[in-house]
């Protein structure tokens, strides 16, 4: 049986996705692709830093390729459809299931969420938690 990392190493475009979001057959779907990436990295045994980044690609750029999306990406001339996550990178986004700060479609902000801040209340400890890689 060929594993996902081997397919990716061979140049095969591998994407992760799901089709069930609160429907009668599966009520646990959330339409949050970071959850799909998180589960995929465990199932495919891709828990290294490289593997986690590849799982992020599997729900973003690789999935866009599978769907033949036109205007996808962050280059000049693209549709400006994207989600700004409260994370420093792909690994942190998946590991912490990052907060979705803003969602854009065609250059217009559709949704916003306040910054999530974790606070500690322990003597002799900083009061703010910063998640560093």
SS3 content of the chain, % helix, strand, coil (to 5): 30, 15, 55
Tell me the pLDDT tens digit for each residue of 56-88.
999 999 999 999 998 898 889 898 889 999 999
* CATH top-level class of 4-112: mainly beta
State mean pLDDT over 10-29: 85
State mean pLDDT over 19-48: 87
**What pLDDT, on the 0 to 100 scale, is given for residue 2?**
61
**What pLDDT, on the 0 to 100 scale, is given for residue 57?**
97
pTM, full prediction: 0.83
């Amino acid at each position: 049986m060929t594993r996902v990392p081997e397919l990716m190493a061979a140049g095969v475009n591998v994407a992760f996705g799901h089709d069930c979001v609160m429907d009668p057959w599966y009520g646990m779907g959330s339409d949050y692709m970071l959850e799909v990436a998180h589960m995929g990295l465990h199932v495919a045994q891709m828990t290294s830093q490289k593997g986690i980044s590849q799982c992020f690609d599997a729900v973003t750029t690789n999935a866009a390729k599978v769907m033949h999306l036109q205007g996808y990406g962050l280059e000049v001339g693209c549709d400006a459809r994207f989600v700004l996550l409260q994370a420093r990178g792909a690994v942190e986004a998946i590991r912490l299931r990052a907060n979705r700060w803003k969602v854009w479609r065609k250059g217009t902000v559709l949704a916003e969420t306040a910054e999530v801040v974790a606070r500690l209340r322990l003597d002799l400890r900083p009061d703010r938690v910063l998640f560093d890689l």
